Amino acid sequence: MLARMLTRAMDAQGVWTKPLGDLVHRFLFWLFQGIPALRDMLVGRWLGHPLHAVLTDAPIGILFLVIVFDVIGNPAAATTTLVVGILTMLAAALAGFADYADTDGKARERATLHSSLMLLALLGYLVSLAFRLGSGSSASAGGVFLSVLSFLVLAAGAYVGGDVVYVLGNMVSRHAFRGAGTKWIALEPVEADGGEIPEGKLVKAKLGINTLVLVRQGEKILALHDTCAHAGGPLNEGKLLDGPVVECPWHSSRYRMADGLVVQGPSVYDQPAYEVRRREGGGWEARRQA
Ligand code: FES
């Protein structure tokens, strides 16, 4: 009941979060596409995990401590903690903006609401800090009031951010629920040249209920799951690069065809890779790599 009310309230913000989100997204997409190394560092490709999710816990915990120090009457500790909280908020925001640059649809609208609330909280904290610094060693009523108010906005922003991940599945691996499986299954290339898989191009193939993307190198067939781990783009419609590496057509994540290793973001997850061999009696069969 409460969740439905909150969802309706968030959806109602679409009148401004959609146009604003599209505008900001255009800028961030342009910015981060131009510096992929920075984007990859901020999204957390090096960690194999979204960095934003790791960083967001710090400001929430630290900024709650500001309230605790205010309540127990230690304004100096509250001010120092507030400075640390603001710095960790800025770090989390940088990582969040890198995620936002490749967020589409409803998730982009929600992410716009989330980041707007976080920026509002940040502004409140900065004004609170100014009040505190202006009042010397004594407690500032305005500073205390603003940090409590900002924490409420921060908590609302965190709720919306949780929705982006847990409800809309943004930055969740598209293979989170896919089992490994060890059975060899007949592989059916959608495009076969006289029964053979053509060389030097990406080829789509069915493997039971799964779709794979293949590259043939002589007798060797390299295969990955076709659904991009980042947001579900069809890899068979992407580009084949040297390596061989496949580039997703949606946000340009790149995966090594031999083992699915992600070599360029925004994906932070490796892609499921498959072994392929000749089948007795003709054709091919495949199974997921261990
Ligand atoms: S869906 Fe985003 S990079 Fe593939």
Could you tell which of 250, 254, 270 is best to mutate to test the pocket of ligand 1, judged by most ligand atoms within 8 Å of the CB?
A: 250
pLDDT at 194: 64
Rounded Cα–Cα distance for residues 15 and 92 (Å): 26
Tell me, yes or no, whether 175 lies in a domain.
Answer: no
Same domain, 21 and 69: yes
One domain, residues 46 and 142:
yes
Helix axes 105-134, 141-162, angle to 10 degrees: 170
Does 177 reside within a domain? no
Of 111, 139, 167, the position where a domain reaches its end is: 167
* Ligand 1 in reach of 233 Cβ (< 6 A): yes
Does residue 77 sit in the same domain as residue 201? no
My answer on whether 11 and 132 are in the same domain is yes
pLDDT in tens, 85-117: 999 999 999 999 999 999 999 999 999 999 999
- Residue type present at position 89: M
Contact predicate 125/88, CB 8 Å: no
Q: Are residues 133 and 265 in the same domain?
A: no
Residue 137 has pLDDT above 70, yes or no: no
The response to whether residue 253 sits with its C-beta less than 6 Å from ligand 1 reads yes
What's the domain count of the chain? 2
- Expressed in angstroms and rounded, the spacing between residue 229 Cα and the centre of ligand 1 is 7
Q: Check pLDDT > 70 for residue 127.
A: yes
Residues 215 and 189 in one domain: yes
Count Cβ atoms below 10 Å from residue 182 Cβ, excluding itself.
8
Are 155 and 233 contained in the same domain?
A: no
Same domain flag for 36 and 90: yes
Q: What atom in ligand 1 is closest to the CA of residue 174?
A: 1
> Which residue segment(s) compose the domain that 228 sits in?
185-288
**Which of 121, 138, 167 is where one domain is finished?**
167
Same domain membership, residue 153 and residue 189: no
pLDDT at 243 over 80: yes
**How many C-beta atoms lie closer than 10 Å to residue 218's C-beta?**
6
Whether the CB of 228 sits within 6 Å of ligand 1: yes
284-288 and 210-217 beta bridge pairing: unpaired
* 178 strand-pairing partners: none
What does the pLDDT read at residue 100? 94
Taking the chain, what is the end-to-end CA distance rounded to the nearest angstrom?
44
* Ligand 1 centre distance from Cα of residue 155 (Å): 30
Q: pLDDT tens digits, residue range 189-217?
A: 776 666 678 888 999 999 988 999 999 98
| Structure-block tokens of residue 139 | 């407690």
Q: Phi and psi of 178, rounded to 5°?
A: -90, 120
Q: Are residues 219 and 156 in the same domain?
A: no
Tell me, what CATH number does 276's domain have? 2.102.10.10
Same domain, 136 and 197: no
Is 63 close to ligand 1, i.e. is its CB under 6 Å away? no
**What is the rounded CA–CA span in Å between residue 112 and residue 13?**
10
For residue 250 and ligand 1, the question of a CB distance below 6 A is answered with: yes
**Strand 254-256 relative to strand 262-264, pairing:** antiparallel
Between the CA of 20 and the centroid of ligand 1 the distance, in Å, is 22
